[in-house]
Structure 1
């Protein structure tokens, strides 16, 4: 990149930092001033300001609405995890270390989310979790809608936890499910085991039993870990 391009990028970063400082300090209220006003405030071109605003838009910090302007979104909506980067990482062929890291991440997040969902979820959220589980149970691996039903179930549990950080981990959980489900489904009876594991979690959430929901989630992840170890175990050497 040439010197001019580096200068523009540095300016964009400085403007972003200044805009965020103004937002968190509540200097702008709910609606940002027009771009030309902001450009004069930061003493930059409208091109630089437009790029800085677009970067904040991409992070779900702003929302542009006709006849209203650029609205500042609630902080709970801000994207702390970049979903595109997560998606790209899961496209790569998995290795043992990556699978280990994925399972360790799930073990940190999902049991706690299940427990909090059991304690905090409203009736509508619990009904949504049950609907997603029913859709999952009624499909078979490889059928249309199967993977999306599984992802929806986990996403709804994360949302029902009420924890905004957990909610934004949905992209990583979706990637993990895409990665491990084909491995789990290879073994005969593997899919039935997965359904039973999910059923225990959903039942505990419906009965508002946080400890049971957490334990069921831990057991499901442990089962997944065992299956992955089996799948990646070296082939036994034949004795001659």
Structure 2
């Protein structure tokens, strides 16, 4: 009889099914589940948040047993997995990532990695999103994620996963020996300063445009994700759909 805590774990991401982060996650998930299913985008779908393809059909490629590449968004992948491929026996847990780059503060609004996890929560599946922080211009150093993914999962699963939200985990960009442990954090504003547009001419002289996120840390609010990761901790933030600005809600409620 299996001693693993889960029968089925579903993996998704937004970097694509061939990305290195999901391979690290797949190796870790095998320690916790009898079956690991991978249903992920066929290509990089970073920045699509919780987008679902309501007006477009979805094509799927089989990549082997329990592995599917979806020509759609991360939320599409989770929906297809839970409501179609795994319909008769839905997953016990959804793990999303490991993302190349952080998902901190405002980045979580843009993130397809977090969007996949939120979709899992919507469909009644406990979910955790994982990201590896890096400098914007650099390739990620996966050593911290590889070293800590399994013990972090053990700690979070032992603590019990919430039903009403997903957990957002960010690994710091440090040598493994400098990582200080887990820190429970709040979302905060994070590292995003804004969005920028770069105009480029193609070989025919016609213009096209790249949209990029502008990063910059101006402050490190106490208990925030950006503070935790900056100080060498693995940040863990519970995220939910609720985005009401409570103070403004209270003020407007009194006025109207």
TM range (shorter): under 0.3
TM-score w.r.t. the length of structure 1 is: 0.23
Q: Which has the higher strand share?
A: 2
Task: Give the structure with higher Rg (CA).
Answer: 1
